[in-house]
Amino acid sequence: MSVGFINGLVVPSSGRSGSLAMLWRKEIFVDIQSYLGRHIDAIVTEDSGFKWWITGFYGNPEVHRGKELWDLLKALNKKVNLPWLCFGDFNEIVSMEEKMGGARRPQRQMDDFREGINCCRFRDLGYCGPDFTWRNIQEGVHKMYLRLDHALATQEWIDHFKDMRVHHLVESTSDHYALLITDSITSQSPQKRRFQFEAMWTRRDECRDIIKAAWNESVNSNTPDSIAAGLKHCADDLSRWNRLVLGHVLRQIQNKRKILSDLVLRDQNGSNGSEINKIGKEINDLLDYKEIMWQQRSKVQWMGLGNRNTKYFHTKAFGRKKKNTITKLMDERGT
């Protein structure tokens, strides 16, 4: 996926823990203060000169060791003297209201987390979307939801960034939901374009049948007009099939993610588990189609499975579009 960030710090994974990354655009000034396997700490300086502290946090999956992380929070608090935003996967909840299904959480664990939050003078920024940020992808009575991901800030940070909202974004490729902290959400309207055979169509069995049927109906001879008519008929049938069956891939991903989010919101007793997993698989298939689309547009044939939708491939694709665009025609007289 292309995110447009060219600067960053990555802390490699160790053992069971995942890796951490803090990325930022070139126009943002970020001064890294410290980092370990469970956090990245930095100071951000705005164009206006306003400075604030940011901490990306990853709690220990071994929840009985959570107190070590809360001690780290308290230690960071002693050196922070700026408005402070701290967010991430804390792998803990503050109360049983942030849990649905499964065994009861030990009270001591929740108390230790809450004590760490209070010590740092944090306020929870709240959220929009589903009440929980993690699910165990089980069904029925085994279904379990937790709000493990939080965005916390001091009052000074909240006072400066008055319009910030936290959105829980349902993600089909992970058991966690992403946190989006923003003052707005914008979307781009799709643009019309000329016919282009999509490589992703070949992953559907119907594609071959449509081409064969259209060609047999149109091409009765090997004349140029007959071949041209066959190509047009084939293109029209493929376009119609794509519109009715596959549709606009990016729009489908957006719509199905909304359906997935709505299902998760309504899944109070785990009864929607099967449908949630089904929609999740459909989204993942569409994401594969999207990947093939960008690979085709970049015309980079050696794009491997490990090299996903990076800015390089988007740049190549849009660069080709710009290069192939005809803006004017000139005759031999220069007019």
Q: DSSP for 22-72?
A: EEE-TTSEEEEEEEETTEEEEEEE-TTS-EEEEEEEE--SSGGGHHHHHHH
Answer for the pair 148, 93: CB distance below 8 angstroms, yes or no.
Answer: yes
Note the pLDDT of residue 188.
42
Higher-pLDDT residue of 269 and 221 is 269
Mean pLDDT confidence for 38-54: 92
18 and 130: one domain? yes
**Does the structure show a pLDDT above 80 at 111?**
yes
Q: Are residues 31 and 98 in the same domain?
A: yes
Residue 175 and residue 321 in one domain: no
Residues 153 and 254 in one domain: no
pLDDT classification of 117: cutoffs 50, 70, 90: very high
Q: What is the pLDDT of residue 152?
A: 95
- Give me the pLDDT at residue 255, please: 80
List phi, psi (to 5°) of 307: -100, 90
| pLDDT of res. 51 | 95
Where helices occur in 80-130 by DSSP H, the ranges are: 107-119
For residue 43, which phi and psi values (nearest 5 degrees)?
-110, 130
Angle between helices 311-324 and 273-298 in degrees, nearest 10: 50
Pair (223, 175) in one structural domain: no
> What residues make up the domain containing 58?
7-182
From CA 121, how far away is CA 308, in angstroms rounded? Answer: 40
Which is it for strands 51-58 and 84-89: parallel, antiparallel or unpaired?
parallel
Concatenated DSSP letters for 282-313? HHHHHHHHHHHHHHHHHT-TT--TTS-S-HHH
Rounded to a whole number of angstroms, the CA Rg of the chain reads 25
Highest mean pLDDT among 267-271, 300-304, 324-328: 267-271
Do both 177 and 314 map to the same domain? no
Q: Which has more pLDDT, 335 or 271?
A: 271
What pLDDT, in 10s, does the model give residues 84-107?
999 999 989 999 989 988 888 888
pLDDT in tens, 178-232: 899 998 654 444 444 567 777 777 777 788 888 888 777 766 666 777 777 778 8
Considering the domain architecture, whether residues 62 and 143 belong to the same structural domain is answered as yes
Question: What is d(CA 38, CA 89) in angstroms, rounded to the nearest whole number?
Answer: 10
Maximum Cα interatomic distance, the chain, rounded to a whole number of Å: 86
Residue 290 phi, psi (nearest 5): -60, -40
Domain boundary among 129, 153, 182: 182
- Band (pLDDT 50/70/90 cuts) for residue 309 is low
* Residue 303 resides in a domain: yes
Q: How many domains does the chain have?
A: 3
Flag whether pLDDT at 267 surpasses 50: yes
CATH number at residue 67: 3.60.10.10
The pLDDT of residue 318 is 53
Q: Taking the CA of residue 81 as centre, how many other CA atoms within 13 Å lie in the half-sphere pointing to its CB?
A: 1
Cβ neighbours for 248, distance < 8 A, ≥ 6 positions apart: 190
* Residue 295: pLDDT band with limits 50, 70, 90: low
Rounded mean pLDDT of the chain?
A: 78
Could you tell me which of 87, 8, 20 has the C-alpha nearest to residue 52?
87
The angle formed by the CA atoms of residues 36, 37 and 41, to the nearest 5 degrees, is 40
Do residues 100 and 14 share a domain? yes
**Co-location of 236 and 254 in the same domain:** no
pTM of whole model > 0.75?
A: no
